[in-house]
């Protein structure tokens, strides 16, 4: 791919040279057009170069994009990597600032602004590089290392298999770097709360369960390696030799790496506290305010977000009471919540049949929506979507549901993951909204379309802004209501329950990280104000604790999308086109909310001119 980038750069350079030699200059306007085109081409070549420079610095990023150059490596995880990233960002910013933004075409100017903002913020945020937990129950290195090999490292050749083994051999060194990073953070007073450690230790021990570590069925990684190897046409002796190499790597560097990590985590667990919020960090308030600005792409304060949440919780509770009347429930809202938590009609059996039924229903909801997409969308994704349950080794600690994007080359579909570890945490009345959020028209629709915008620079196709992405996901739960879905009032209650969940997030995230709520206070608030089961509530609060500000993105983003749509409808009246609105939101890829405002405003003005 490095060669590919060089060819692009050379082609652009050659095109510019030819243009300079052969283009006549009959007027100033023609000269201006040539200059604008030249500067835009230079800019887009630079965007590509910057994107690929970052990708090629990360073997993991390469694998996500299907590049196999460094697929036998992990890349550095530590101070040298931070320093190299800062130097790269500073170099890229200097290159970008050498361009003339006044000479760029409109779409390239958006890209320029986004890239400049991204680089400036990354450089500014270098000061916060230690303000995250490398080991946590959501995306900790102890689980993502294994899940990356399983879900991303494809084996279609012997070379791929040997690269997989090389990565197994590299796990000990990788975890040595992780432990050093944990020590640096601890010296600064940045240690995960105590509740994180049992999860992380359990995840690690699960990787070491089974053959070749002990007698029994194959371990998770050995089973994955063998299954992938089975698709290759190999002589049996060669196949067995590769398996023997993998087993040696597992019993050696993998076992040693995870073993050392477990020992360190057991020790750090004894030194950790129960303090949950970012306020406990040095300069924690300033860090959290910065995190809110990055997450929401707004200037909303923690206090404003907290009050927005309280107000929205009250509004949704009123809509839920209307559904109580509709279904003839006698009692108050808390009693209805208890009914929804406990009545067996809303829960499938906690066995293979129940799990299969859940996945099947999710596929049906997505299929029904797929058939009606043309009513509300002009642009649709090409990549398929697969519904899948979370793998056994990480289901105890993973979130309730999440989305994994397809590979750019089409070799891997998008995945809607459902965590079916305990079916008591997966009520069927929420399944319809969950399928729309994670699948279609939610994350799969938005993320797959973004990846498929081939005219866009890669950093826009594969990047993201949480408020935009999660705001779209939550908006995608609401849109089907307008289309006539949620015919079952309990399913409509599920939609409201999921919206309520996100409104409560505004309250508890700011409560935890700005108002010094304890983990228990946040759990109590979420349990009292939502119908979700206890397991759901605890897992969610623990997620918000280790990801400061992230939970605020959903509601802030959804509210802004609905405000933009309502404003466009007001201005355009009967001429408002919902398909056109959705297409302008999706066709520019992920955007900060302030830039999205501008794009929708431009679309509205273009629609007015067309009237």
Tokens of 181: 């990073």
pLDDT in tens, 18-28: 222 333 333 33
79-93 residue pLDDT tens: 999 999 999 999 999
pLDDT of residue 410: 80
Residue 611 CA to chain centroid, in angstroms? 39
How far apart are alpha carbons 341 and 297 in whole angstroms? 35
The string of pLDDT tens digits covering residues 446-484 is: 999 999 998 899 999 988 899 999 999 999 999 999 999
Considering only 177-191, 402-416, 540-554, which range has the smallest mean pLDDT?
A: 402-416
pTM comes to 0.84
Q: pLDDT confidence of 37, banded at 50, 70, 90?
A: low
Q: Is the pLDDT of residue 534 over 90?
A: no
Give the pairing type, strands 401-404 and 414-418: antiparallel
- Whether 550 contacts 466, CB under 8 Å: yes
Distance of CA 460 to the CA centre of its chain: 15
Angstrom distances, CA of residue 515 to CA of 64, 247, 294, 383, 565: 38, 50, 19, 43, 33
Predicted confidence (pLDDT) at residue 191 exceeds the cutoff of 50: yes
**3-state secondary structure at position 416:** strand
For residues 22 and 56, the answer to whether their CB atoms sit within 8 Å is no
User: Higher model confidence: residue 407 or residue 520?
Assistant: 520
- Closest alpha carbon to 477 in 447, 449, 502, 442: 442
Query: DSSP letters of 40-108?
Result: HHHHHHHHHHHHHHHHHT-HHHHHHTT--TTTT-----SHHHHHHHHHHHHHHHHHHHTS-GGGS-HHH
**Residue 530 φ/ψ, nearest 5 degrees:** -135, 160
Per cent of the chain over pLDDT 90 is 86
Residues 228-268: tens digit of each pLDDT: 999 999 999 999 999 999 999 999 999 999 999 999 999 99
Mean pLDDT of 386-397: 87
Strand partners, 218: 211
pLDDT at 16 over 80: no
What's the pLDDT at 29? 42
Give the phi and the psi of residue 9 in degrees, each rounded to 5.
-60, -45
Report the run of H or E that residue 415 belongs to, with start and end: strand 414-418
CA-CA distance, 529 to 590, in Å (whole number)?
32
In angstroms, the CA 490 to CA 479 distance is: 17
* Predicted pLDDT at 91: 98
Q: What is the mean predicted confidence (pLDDT) over 357-372?
A: 97
Instruction: State the pLDDT at residue 297.
Output: 95
DSSP letters of 146-183?
Answer: HHHHHHT---SSHHHHHHHHHHHHTHHHHHHHHHHHHH
% of the chain with per-residue pLDDT over 70? 94
SS3 266: helix
Identify the helix (H) or strand (E) that includes residue 25.
Answer: none
pLDDT mean across residues, the chain: 92
Distance CA 222, CA 298 (A): 46
| pLDDT on residue 611 | 75
Element (H, E) at 119: helix 106-124
Asked whether the predicted pLDDT for residue 33 surpasses 80, the reply is no
Give CA torsion, residues 109, 115, 119, 121, to 10 deg. Answer: 80
- Mode of pairing for the β-strands spanning 414-418 and 385-389: parallel
């Amino acid at each position: 791919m490095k060669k590919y980038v060089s060819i692009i750069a050379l082609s652009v350079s050659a095109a510019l040279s030819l243009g300079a030699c052969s283009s006549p200059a009959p007027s100033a306007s023609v000269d201006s057009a040539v200059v604008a085109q030249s500067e835009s081409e230079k800019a887009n070549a630079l965007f590509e170069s910057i994107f690929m420079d970052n990708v090629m610095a990360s073997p993991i990023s390469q694998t996500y994009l299907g590049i196999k150059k460094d697929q036998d490596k992990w890349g550095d995880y530590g101070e040298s990597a931070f320093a190299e990233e800062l130097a790269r960002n500073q170099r890229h910013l200097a290159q970008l600032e050498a361009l003339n933004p006044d000479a760029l075409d409109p779409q390239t100017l958006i890209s320029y602004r986004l890239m400049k903002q991204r680089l400036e913020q990354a450089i500014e945020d270098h000061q916060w590089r230690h303000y995250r937990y490398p080991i946590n129950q959501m995306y900790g290195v102890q689980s993502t290392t294994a899940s990356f090999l399983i879900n991303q490292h494809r084996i279609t050749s012997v070379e791929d298999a040997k690269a997989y083994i090389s990565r197994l051999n590299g796990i000990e060194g990788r975890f040595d770097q992780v432990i050093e990073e944990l020590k640096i953070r601890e010296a600064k007073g940045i240690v995960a709360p105590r509740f994180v450690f049992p999860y992380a230790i359990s995840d690690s021990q699960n990787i070491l369960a089974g053959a070749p570590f002990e007698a029994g069925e194959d371990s998770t990684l050995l089973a994955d390696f063998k299954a992938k190897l089975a698709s290759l046409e190999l002589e049996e002796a060669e196949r067995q030799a590769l398996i023997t190499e993998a087993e040696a790597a597992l019993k050696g560097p993998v076992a040693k790496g995870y073993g050392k990590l477990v020992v360190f985590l057991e020790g750090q667990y004894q030194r950790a506290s129960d303090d949950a919020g970012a306020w406990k960090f040095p300069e924690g308030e300033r860090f959290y305010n910065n995190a809110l600005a990055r997450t929401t792409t707004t200037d909303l304060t923690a206090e404003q977000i907290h009050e927005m949440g309280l107000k929205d919780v009250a509004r949704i509770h009123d809509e839920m009471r209307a559904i109580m009347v509709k279904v003839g429930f006698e009692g108050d809202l808390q009693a209805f919540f208890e009914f929804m938590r406990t009545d067996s009609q809303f829960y499938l059996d906690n066995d293979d049949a129940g799990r299969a039924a859940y996945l099947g229903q999710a596929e049906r909801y997505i299929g029904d929506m797929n058939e009606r997409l043309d009513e509300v969308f002009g642009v649709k994704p090409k990549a398929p979507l697969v519904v899948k349950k979370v793998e056994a080794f990480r289901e105890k600690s993973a979130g309730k549901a999440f989305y994994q994007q397809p590979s750019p080359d089409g070799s891997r579909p998008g995945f809607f993951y459902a965590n079916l570890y305990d079916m008591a945490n997966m009520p069927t009345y929420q399944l319809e909204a969950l399928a729309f959020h994670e699948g279609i028209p939610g994350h799969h629709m938005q993320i797959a379309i973004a990846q498929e915008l081939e005219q866009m620079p890669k950093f826009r196709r594969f990047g993201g802004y949480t408020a935009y992405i999660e705001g779209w996901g939550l908006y995608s739960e609401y849109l089907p209501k307008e289309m006539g879905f949620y015919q079952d009032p309990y399913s409509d209650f599920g939609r409201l329950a999921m919206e309520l969940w996100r409104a409560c997030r505004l309250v508890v995230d700011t409560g935890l990280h700005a108002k010094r709520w304890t983990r228990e206070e946040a759990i109590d608030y979420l349990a009292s104000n939502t119908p979700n089961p206890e397991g759901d509530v605890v897992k969610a609060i623990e997620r918000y604790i280790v990801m400061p500000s992230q939970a605020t993105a959903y509601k802030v983003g959804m509210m802004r999308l609905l405000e933009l749509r309502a404003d466009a409808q007001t201005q355009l009246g009967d001429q408002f086109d919902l398909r056109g609105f959705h297409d302008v939101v999706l066709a520019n890829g992920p955007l900060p909310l302030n830039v999205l405002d501008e794009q929708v405003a431009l679309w509205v003005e273009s629609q007015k001119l067309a009237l």
